[in-house]
Amino acid sequence: MATRVEEDPPAVEEPRSSHAPDARQPQPNPLREGLRLERMAEPCTMVICGATGDLTERKLAPALYNALLGGFLPPEFTVVGFARRELDDDAFRDHLLAGINRFSRNKPAKPAIWESFARGIEYHQGDFDDPDAYVELAKHLDRIDRDRGTSGNRLFYLAVPPSLYPEIVNQLDRAGLASHGDRRRSGSRRGWTRVIVEKPFGSDLESARTLNRELAEVFDETQVYRIDHYLGKETVQNLAVFRFGNGLFEPIWNRRYIDSVQITVAETVGVEGRGEFYDATGALRDIVQGHALQLMAMFAMDPPVEFHAEDLRDEKMKVLRGVKPMSAADVATNTVRGQYVSGWVEGEKVVSYRDDEKVAPDSETETFAALKLGIDSWRWAGVPFYLRTGKALPSRVTEIAVQFKQAPLALFARAGVPQIEANVLAIRVQPDEGILLRFGAKVPGQGLQIRTVNMDFRYGLSFAVDSPDAYETLLLDAMIGDPSLFTRDDEVERAWEILDPILDAWHAGNGGPLHFYGAGSWGPPAADELLERDGRAWRRP
Ligand code: BG6
């Protein structure tokens, strides 16, 4: 995000991320007059470890196809699928094509574009614990560098369960595939190496630290891209533009004018087919740890000194540091966990979570979580941040709703007009991306009546272009070397520091009971009570 301006194409020997003053700090190259090379990835090979899985088909293949369609991938770009399954290149290409034809925002694939994409798709069969598979992979990649001109630039995407990360990164290292390719590791080959790791990043603070340590033994932090696809969503990136690109909002973005903030990540889907993963994970780890806390950090951060990755991540980190971990007593008061039972969502019958075939029949895993958090900072002291997320809710919506304080004087009350609703600014992340402002207006006529009306900006109406998919944006960022929209090691660890006490109290049984809610409802009544106690109510998006 930071470097989305005109840039020089970096020289192969000089990775963009190695630039002083801070080795951790990737910086944009100087502007190059007259040339807009902003989103063109460099020639590189992307190796997808675990390429035969769901993620490749659903997200990665469509994202790459659309990036190519948009002209953002160079002709040299090559994908290598690395997985255990016996496949040949053609079968792997078919797997990607099927994904594009099913899940791409532009579908079906255009034959000419697909043919050019397919020429750069290869498969490498091997077991992740077999050193020979990596030795062969290294040869395979060298051959691609020679044949396709990918300049030794490599992006490894770990589309595998996190338990396999240590094995894979160590094997990559042993096969000489992990080196940075810059002068700091003299004697290494040319070109850059980066690794993208998927969420969940650990399951608690300790496991996240271990994972960070294991990655750090092999890679520099500048090489590690921890993906949180919410940061790639267009509306989330727009948060920074909305706040810092306009003079209007930033002066009121604080405790003096804002009463409270609600962050909702609501899904209509249950756990369909993902019961095994989900039952070991739960809503707090699945959504709050990454997506919801990242939304909160982007919403609440101070303006960065510059729009560079490290400045941005420093500011987000300050927000997370301001969120104080709860005591067990706070957990019981300030959190609600729920699990859905059978009901109806969008006209479809949904079975109880515990009746899912991959879920334990006595599972205590939460499919809904609501939290009241605070940020101890000059800007936000005393402003509650209410977060909620759930599966099997009545509508799919992600939004940040800001409730402003009431006008200081109820002037119109003297004329018998009832108290007007407080102003609300709702930033809709998805679907119907846009920003809505609710304020009071005089109803036309001779008397004085006030009604709340909407001022409504919608992406779909204001812009004629489709928003790129989050993965499209993030893959390009990783190829370009811009980590702004990826989470840093300290951010993930801090998120776990915030959530660990909640998980511990819930599991110890002293963090409040597990509440049940009917599929198709907005969660358990206890979630409403969490706000009612404070004289507030959840917005019904
Ligand atoms: C993923 C979670 O990270 O995000 C899923 O693991 C969830 O459980 C998904 O459904 C939601 O993503 P989106 O982009 O559809 O809102």
Classify the C-alpha dihedral 456-383-372-249 as positive or negative: positive
Tell whether ligand 1 has an atom less than 6 A from the beta carbon of residue 267.
Answer: yes
At 236 the pLDDT is 92
Q: 271 alpha carbon to ligand 1 midpoint, in Å?
A: 11
**pLDDT tens for each residue of 192-221:** 999 999 988 999 999 999 999 999 999 999
Say how far apart CA 187 and CA 22 lie, in whole Å.
Answer: 23
DSSP string, 160-197: S-GGGHHHHHHHHHHTT-----SGGGTTPPSS-EEEEE
Ligand 1, residues 285, 291, 294: which to mutate, most atoms within 8 A of Cβ? Answer: 291
- Ligand 1: atom nearest CA of 286 is 6
What is the architecture of the domain spanning 231-532?
A: 2-Layer Sandwich (3.30)
- Per domain, the residue ranges of the chain are 3-198, 231-532
At 414 the pLDDT is 78
Say how far apart CA 343 and CA 357 lie, in whole Å.
Answer: 17
**pLDDT tens for each residue of 23-64:** 333 333 333 333 334 678 889 999 999 999 999 999 999 999
β-sheet bridge partners, residue 402:
261, 425
Q: 44 alpha carbon to ligand 1 midpoint, in Å?
A: 28
Q: How many beta carbons lie within 10 A of that of residue 162, not counting itself?
A: 17
Tell whether ligand 1 has an atom less than 6 A from the beta carbon of residue 469.
Answer: no
Which positions ≥6 away from 49 have C-beta within 8 Å? 82, 83, 128, 156, 157, 158, 159, 160, 164, 168
Tell me which residue of 432, 518, 503 sits closest to 203, measured CA to CA.
Answer: 503
Which uninterrupted H or E stretch holds 45? strand 45-49
Token output for 299:
């919403």
Tell me which residue of 411, 283, 387 sits closest to 335, measured CA to CA.
Answer: 387
Say how far apart CA 493 and CA 317 lie, in whole Å.
Answer: 10
Tell me which residue of 250, 336, 248, 226 sits closest to 299, measured CA to CA.
Answer: 250
Question: Going by CA atoms, what residue is nearest to atom 14 of ligand 1?
Answer: 230
Query: Taking a C-beta distance cutoff of 8 angstroms, is the pair 172, 223 a contact?
Result: no
φ/ψ (deg, to 5) at 338 = -140, 165
Query: Taking a C-beta distance cutoff of 8 angstroms, is the pair 291, 396 a contact?
Result: no
At 162 the pLDDT is 87
- Ligand 1: atom nearest CA of 267 is 10
Say how far apart CA 320 and CA 16 lie, in whole Å.
Answer: 28
Q: How many beta carbons lie within 10 A of that of residue 402, not counting itself?
A: 22
CATH 3.40.50.261 given to domain 3-198: no
At 179 the pLDDT is 82
Q: How many beta carbons lie within 10 A of that of residue 409, not counting itself?
A: 8
* Distance from chain centroid for Cα 344: 28
Token output for 18:
């190695």
Tell whether ligand 1 has an atom less than 6 A from the beta carbon of residue 399.
Answer: no
**pLDDT tens for each residue of 409-449:** 888 887 788 778 899 999 999 998 999 999 999 999 998 88
pLDDT beneath 70, residues of the chain: 1-38, 180-189
Letter for the amino acid at 251? P
Q: 292 alpha carbon to ligand 1 midpoint, in Å?
A: 11
- Ligand 1: atom nearest CA of 228 is 3
Query: Taking a C-beta distance cutoff of 8 angstroms, is the pair 178, 72 a contact?
Result: no
At 194 the pLDDT is 97
Q: Which residues are catalytic?
A: 291
At 80 the pLDDT is 98
Q: How many beta carbons lie within 10 A of that of residue 61, not counting itself?
A: 30
Q: 316 alpha carbon to ligand 1 midpoint, in Å?
A: 21
What percent of the chain is modeled with pLDDT above 90? 82
Instruction: Tell me which DSSP letter residue 396 carries.
Output: -
β-sheet bridge partners, residue 193:
154
* H, E, C per residue of 57-107: HHHHHHHHHHHHHCCCCCCCCEEEEEECCCCCHHHHHHHHHHHHHHHCCCC
Ligand 1, residues 227, 264, 267: which to mutate, most atoms within 8 A of Cβ? Answer: 267
At 38 the pLDDT is 62
Which positions ≥6 away from 281 have C-beta within 8 Å? 200, 203, 365
Question: Going by CA atoms, what residue is nearest to atom 4 of ligand 1?
Answer: 287
Tell whether ligand 1 has an atom less than 6 A from the beta carbon of residue 259.
Answer: no
